[in-house]
A and B are shown apart, each in its own frame.
Chain A
Amino acid sequence: MRERRRLRAPDVIGAARGGLDRVGRGALLAAAIVRTLGTPRKWVHASLSQAYSMGIRSLPLVLFMAALGGAIASQQTGAQFTGGLPLWVTGSVVAAGVLTELGPVLTAMVLVGRLGASIAAELGTMKVTEQIDALYSIGRDPVTFLVVPRVVGGTLVFPPLVVLANAMGMFAGWAIGLVAIDGLTSADFIFGARFYFRPWVLFFSVIKAALFGVAITFLACFIGLEGRGGAEGVGRTTTAAVVATTIAVMVLDVLLVPLLKVA
Chain B
Amino acid sequence: MIEYRGVWKSFGDDPVLRGVDLTVREGETLVLLGPSGTGKSVLLKHAIGLLMPDRGDVRVDGLSIPDASLDQLKRVRRRVGYVFQNAALFDSLTVLQNLALALDEEDRPRPLRAVRPEAAELLARVNLQEEVLDLFPAELSGGMRKRVGVARAIASRPRYVLYDEPTTGLDPVNAETIDGLIVELARELGVTSIVVTHDLESAFQVGDRVALLTEGVLRACGSPDEILESEDPVVRRFMHRRFGTAV
Report yes or no: A139 in contact with B106, Cβ–Cβ below 8 A.
Answer: yes
> B80, B84, B152: which has the most chain A beta carbons within 10 Å?
B84
State which size class the interface on A falls in.
10 to 19
Taking a contact as CB atoms under 8 Å apart, the answer to whether B88 and A140 are in contact is: no
Q: What B residues does A41 contact at CB under 8 A? A: 107
- Tell whether, in the assembled complex, residue A130 and residue B88 are in contact, meaning their CB atoms are under 8 Å apart: yes
For B74, the closest partner residue in chain A by CB is A139
Which residues of chain B come closer than 8 Å to A129, judged between CB atoms?
86, 88, 91
Interface size on B, residues (CB 8 A): 27
Q: Once the chains bind, are B90 and A131 in contact (CB under 8 Å)?
A: yes
Q: Are B106 and A133 in contact (CB under 8 A)?
A: no
Interface 1/0s, chain B 41-56, versus A by CB < 8 A?
0000100111000000
Given A139-B78, A139-B156, residue A134 in contact with residue B90 (CB < 8 A):
yes
Contacts of A39 in B (CB 8 A): 107
Please judge, given known A-B contacts A133-B45, A138-B156, whether A42 and B106 are in contact too, CB under 8 Å.
Answer: yes
Residue in B77, B91, B107 whose beta carbon sits within 8 Å of that of A42 in the complex: B107
Within residues 41 to 91 of chain B, which ones have a CB less than 8 A from any CB in chain A? 45, 48-50, 74-75, 77-78, 80-82, 84-86, 88-91
The listed residue (B50, B85, B92) touching A136 by CB distance below 8 A is: B50
Cα distance A39–B107 in the bound complex, in angstroms: 9
CB within 8 A of A130: which of B86, B92, B101, B152? B86
Find the B residue at minimum CB distance from A131: B88
Give the contacting residue for B48; candidates A126, A130, A137, A145; CB below 8 A.
A137
Residue A166 is within 8 A (CB to CB) of chain B in the complex: no
B132-182 contacts to A, CB under 8 A, are: 152-153, 155-156
B120 to chain A minimum Cβ distance, whole angstroms, is 19
A contact face: mostly helix, strand, loop, or mixed: helix
Give CA–CA (A195, B78) in the complex, Å: 64
A residues less than 8 Å from B22 (CB atoms) = none
For chain B, residues 86 to 135, give those with C-beta under 8 angstroms from any C-beta of chain A. Answer: 86, 88-92, 101-102, 106-107
Min distance, Cβ A18 to any Cβ of chain B, angstroms: 12
Report the 8 A-B pairs with minimum CB-CB distance, sorted nearest first.
Answer: A134-B88, A137-B82, A130-B88, A138-B102, A139-B77, A139-B74, A139-B78, A130-B84
Q: 6 other contacts beyond A130-B85, A141-B106, with CB at 8 A cut-off?
A: A134-B89, A137-B80, A138-B78, A138-B155, A139-B77, A139-B78
Query: Can you report 25 residue pairs joining A to B where beta carbons are below 8 Å apart?
Result: A39-B107, A129-B86, A129-B88, A130-B86, A130-B88, A131-B88, A133-B45, A133-B82, A133-B84, A133-B88, A134-B84, A136-B50, A136-B77, A137-B50, A137-B80, A137-B84, A137-B153, A138-B77, A138-B78, A138-B102, A139-B75, A139-B156, A140-B101, A144-B106, A145-B106
| Chain A residues close to B by CB (< 8 Å) | 39, 41-42, 122, 126, 129-131, 133-141, 144-145
